[in-house]
Structure 1
């Protein structure tokens, strides 16, 4: 078992508060992704869990035991970094078996476990090579294999795929998810790429300025973001946000006079300044009362068409799961699906509907 509890965790560097009273429970076997913009504290939080950074306040509990003062080597956690952290003078086999050797395991047992991990990760033909003879993706596989052979209570990943090209990222994303399912392990994964988080995690923790903004499954965060920050951060392309006022008739009138429909407008917010959110996938073409949208950029991908356009004085993005025959400078009739509209308080950013 490996259940982790963070209770009012704080981290300060001099007078600068990096982590501000974080509470979080990670259950055994969960895959948790920590996401947020650069500087939000996600890597610092991971390093505190690993014991690489001290805790300024609060407690970290692993299976009920406070481990704040436990050194990293006694926490039985394996960490995979974005820069691989392999021993350059060792072969792949030696890198994989290093932790077992340090534990005093017999040579034949080390060889057996190394062979098993190498077969799982497609590293068998590479066992005699050194890290300098490997590609980035192969090095990351070795780092993952070394973590597996530590048999840790927790796996910690710090942006492990950020140095790889797009194709390799997709491949290793699937491998990490598959490993999680096979090992039934608890994994905490830091990434700046919310697509990685959406496709891999059981739950996502969204951080901003050292605070947790929302915790939930990928679909919970996508469908019901708690605030405008989460709404704009989760989802690719990002949600469009328009500033305006909620009118009596249930429409939102933007600051430059554009009218946007809402299916169920909260009565208590009538007359209030709001942020109107609509995801790019939730625009429909050529509807009655449609908006006049001047096309700025067309980005066809084959199966989809992404269009950047102007509505009033604001740029917005629409994504269609089909090919749209339109050119830059032309005008489209578009309308947000009113049943998919999100309303947020313009001042606090909190969800209203």
Structure 2
């Protein structure tokens, strides 16, 4: 079992509060992704869990035991870093088996476990090579294999794919997810890439300035973001947000005078300043009489067409799951799907519908 509870965890640097007091429970076997913009505290939080950073307040509880004062070795967690952290003078086999050797495991057992891990991660042909002879993806596989062989209570990943090219990131993303399913071990994964978080995690924790903005499954955060920050952070391309006023039930009038439909409008918000949110894929191609927008950029991908439009003074991104014949400078009639429109308070950003 490996259930981790963070109870009012705090961190300060040189008198500045980085994490003011954070509460979170991570259940055994969960894959949790910590996401947020640079400087939000996600890597600091991971290092506090690992024991690489001290905890200035609150309790870190692993399976009922407070572990604030335990060393990284005593916590029995394995961390996979962005820069691989391999021993350059050792072969792949030696890197994989190093932690077992330090534990005094017999050589025959080390060799057996190293070969099992290498076979799982496709490293068998590379066991005699040194890190300098490996590609970035191969080095990251070695780092993952070394973590597996420690048989840790938790796996911690600190942006492990950020140094890889796009194709390798997709491949290793799939491998890490498959690894989690095989091992059924608790994993905490820090990333600035919300696509990684959406495709891999059981739950996502969205952080901003050391605070948790929302915790939920990927689809919960995508379909019902708790506030405008989460709405704009989760989803790619990001959600379009319009400032306006809820003029009457079902209609928001933007500051540019554009009428936008929304299916659910709470009575208490009538007349209120709001942020109207709609995701790029929730625009419909419409007939004359609806919103007439000028085409700025067309980006066809084959199966989809992404079109950037000028709507009043605002630039809007739309995404259609079809090929759309549009040219820059021409006009296109579009309409947001009212069923998928989001309303947020213009000042606090809190969700209204």
Report the TM range for the smaller structure's normalisation.
over 0.9
Aligned partner of 2:296 in structure 1 is 296
SS state at 1:97 partner:
helix
Aligned partner of 2:146 in structure 1 is 146
User: Deviation per CA, 1:156-187, whole angstroms, max 9, x where unpaired?
Assistant: 00000000000000000000000000001100
For 1:187 and 1:255, the matched residues in 2 are separated by 45
Aligned partner of 1:254 in structure 2 is 254
SS state at 2:172 partner:
helix
For 1:16 and 1:324, the matched residues in 2 are separated by 51
For 2:256 and 2:87, the matched residues in 1 are separated by 59
Figure out how many residues of one structure are paired with residues of the other and give that number. 353
Aligned partner of 2:338 in structure 1 is 338
SS state at 2:327 partner:
coil
SS state at 1:247 partner:
strand
For 2:329 and 2:10, the matched residues in 1 are separated by 51
Tell whether 2:125 aligns with 1:125. yes
For 1:150 and 1:216, the matched residues in 2 are separated by 30
> How far off is 1:286 after superposition?
1.7
> How far off is 1:265 after superposition?
1.1
Aligned partner of 1:110 in structure 2 is 110
SS state at 2:248 partner:
coil
For 2:264 and 2:91, the matched residues in 1 are separated by 62
TM-score (norm 1): 0.99
Aligned partner of 2:173 in structure 1 is 173
Aligned partner of 2:27 in structure 1 is 27
For 1:199 and 1:26, the matched residues in 2 are separated by 18
> How far off is 1:289 after superposition?
4.2
SS state at 1:157 partner:
strand
Aligned partner of 2:266 in structure 1 is 266
Mapping of 1:26-175 within 5 angstroms? 26-175=26-175
For 2:300 and 2:288, the matched residues in 1 are separated by 26
For 1:62 and 1:286, the matched residues in 2 are separated by 55
For 2:118 and 2:279, the matched residues in 1 are separated by 43
For 1:348 and 1:147, the matched residues in 2 are separated by 42
Aligned partner of 1:192 in structure 2 is 192
> How far off is 1:25 after superposition?
0.3
For 2:174 and 2:306, the matched residues in 1 are separated by 26
User: Deviation per CA, 1:15-52, whole angstroms, max 9, x where unpaired?
Assistant: 21111211000000000000000000000000000000
> How far off is 1:250 after superposition?
2.5
> How far off is 1:225 after superposition?
0.3
In structure 1, runs of 5+ residues without a counterpart are none
Aligned partner of 1:279 in structure 2 is 279
Aligned partner of 1:182 in structure 2 is 182
> How far off is 1:111 after superposition?
0.1
Question: Contact 2:285/2:334 (CA < 8 Å) preserved in 1?
Answer: yes
> How far off is 1:249 after superposition?
4.2
Aligned partner of 2:325 in structure 1 is 325
For 1:165 and 1:307, the matched residues in 2 are separated by 26
For 1:234 and 1:18, the matched residues in 2 are separated by 23
Question: Contact 2:249/2:267 (CA < 8 Å) preserved in 1?
Answer: no
For 1:80 and 1:272, the matched residues in 2 are separated by 48
Aligned partner of 1:221 in structure 2 is 221
For 1:244 and 1:23, the matched residues in 2 are separated by 35
Residues 306 and 205 of structure 1: CA distance in aligned 2, closer, same or farther (over 3 Å): same
> How far off is 1:148 after superposition?
0.1
Question: Contact 1:289/1:335 (CA < 8 Å) preserved in 2?
Answer: no
> How far off is 1:288 after superposition?
6.2
Moved over 3 A (4+): none
